[in-house]
């Protein structure tokens, strides 16, 4: 089992689209953030697995960072591994690895992190991470840093 599969239980297969590729033949770097977003949404759908009224309360993306390691190509088999790595009172961090299959082995193409803040859109203020979300994330992520 790869290191990514040991640390990152959640992963999503990414369908690289022709529109993602720039004239150099690489997936344009801006698309990596979209891949992270897709992984984050799928993580929530699969791990938290509850209906969320996003117009009332949910999360705001507060910070995003990325390190590029190698180009991603149109023909690559691409996965995004994701995990919640830190859980605070009102926010949580999600870490990502974009992995490309190369000769049967996983190669990290990029890694990143985002910080999400829980937010009440009706009252326009931050809120605590809902208790049910915390419980589900903690049970899914062994070794999670809880503040």
pTM of the model: 0.91
Domains identified in the chain and CATH numbers: 3-146 (3.10.129.10)
Contact 80, 39 (CB under 8 A): yes
Question: CA angle at residue 93 from 60 to 147, to 5 degrees?
Answer: 110
Tokens 């193409």, residue? Answer: 109
Q: What is the largest CA-CA distance in the chain?
A: 52
Task: Give the Cα separation of 91 and 106 in Å (integer).
Answer: 31
Residue 4 has pLDDT above 60, yes or no: no
pLDDT at 3 over 60: no
**What are 44-70's pLDDT values in tens digits?**
999 998 888 878 888 999 999 999 999
């Amino acid at each position: 089992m790869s290191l990514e599969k040991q640390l990152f239980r959640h992963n999503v297969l990414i369908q690289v689209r022709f529109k993602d590729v720039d004239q150099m033949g690489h997936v344009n770097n801006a698309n990596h953030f979209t891949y992270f977003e897709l992984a984050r949404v799928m993580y929530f759908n699969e791990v938290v697995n509850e209906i969320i009224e996003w117009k009332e309360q949910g999360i705001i993306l507060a910070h995003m960072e990325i390190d590029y390691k190698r180009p991603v190509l149109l023909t690559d088999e691409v996965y995004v591994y994701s995990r919640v790595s830190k859980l605070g009172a009102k926010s949580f961090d999600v870490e990502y690895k974009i992995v490309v299959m190369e000769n049967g082995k996983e190669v990290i193409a990029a890694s990143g992190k985002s910080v999400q803040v829980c937010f009440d859109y009706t009252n326009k203020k931050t809120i605590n991470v809902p208790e049910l979300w915390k419980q589900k994330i903690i049970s899914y992520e062994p070794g999670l840093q809880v503040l």
